[in-house]
Amino acid sequence: MTPLVHLQSLGLIDYKEAWDYQEQLFKGTIDEKIRIRNGETELKTKNYLLFCEHPHVYTLGKSGSEDNLLLSDQGLEEKEAQFYKINRGGDITYHGPGQLVVYPIFDLDQFFTDIHKYMRFLEEAVILTLATFGIKGGRVEGLTGVWIDFDTDHPRKICAMGVKSSRWVTMHGIGFNVNSDLSYFSNIIPCGIDDKTVTSMQHELGQKVSMEDVAAVLKDKLADQFHYDYAETTI
């Protein structure tokens, strides 16, 4: 049976508020899986896909180093940015207005139980979305995410990824630079990689891009990759 994904557009939302909401869905899905396993219910778990933007914020994954944040508390205040240590994989990254953030809360038992494959499918959906807008994206061996000029000595990262999973339920996900203010990346060592740069669709194309158009394409590319149906829902 084809999985169903409940798609929600959260708009511009505070990072902590979105994180708490993810945790609610994530823990609820895990609890439901336990009830199903114990024979307490015959209901299937639900899958969610959250699209949003955040005010300026830096997040540090559980395997990252706080040394990769190059701002003091005062510097964060001056930049009107927040900072959180969070429970995903990966190092430090930036989220802000103009970046499309996507959080899949998927029960991978309904798809496939392979985190490596899951990450590659997320990357491929972004690569196909970029191609729709005339941008060639790809992968850099040994590094997660999507890159421009990926086959040269000077690749530029356009999409960062970091996830958490438990009992094959996922959370966190994609930070896709559409119209991002790239100057904010100068305040960190992005993903702990100090010899590569970042970019955005706006920078590559020389003009702003409709966030709604990019989101619409990415929704379809994700559905194509994971072979699911989706329904637009509200909180």
Q: Which of 100, 108, 122, 191 is catalytic?
A: 191
Q: What amino acid occupies position 230? A: Y
Q: What are the φ/ψ torsions at residue 215 (nearest 5 degrees)?
A: -60, -40
Q: In which residue are the tokens 């439901």 written?
A: 32
- Average pLDDT value for the chain: 93
Tokens of 26: 């994530």
Concatenated DSSP letters of 193-231: --S-EE--HHHHHTS---HHHHHHHHHHHHHHHHT-EEE
pLDDT number for residue 67: 87
Active site residue 159: no
pLDDT band at 65 (very low <50, low <70, confident <90, very high): confident
The per-residue pLDDT for range 67-119, each reduced to its tens digit, is 889 999 999 999 999 999 998 888 889 999 999 999 999 999 999 999 999 99
Which CATH code of 3.40.630.40, 1.10.10.10, 3.30.930.10, 1.10.10.2160 fits the domain covering 4-232?
Answer: 3.30.930.10
Query: Three-class SS of residue 19?
Result: helix
Amino acid at 74: Q
pLDDT tens, position by position, 16-55: 999 999 999 999 999 999 999 898 887 889 999 999 999 9
| Annotated domain spans of the chain | 4-232
pTM of the model as a whole:
0.94
Pair type for strands 47-53 and 99-105: antiparallel
Residue with structure tokens 């960062």?
160
Among the residue ranges 171-175, 184-188, 194-198, the one predicted with the least confidence is 194-198
> Are 90 and 48 contacting, i.e. CB atoms less than 8 angstroms apart?
no
Residues 6+ apart with CB under 8 A from 5: 47, 48, 49, 104, 106, 223, 226, 228, 229, 230, 231
- Quote the tokens at residue 164: 């958490």
Provide, rounded to the nearest whole percent, the portion of the chain with pLDDT above 70. 97
Compare 132 and 62 and report the one with higher pLDDT.
132
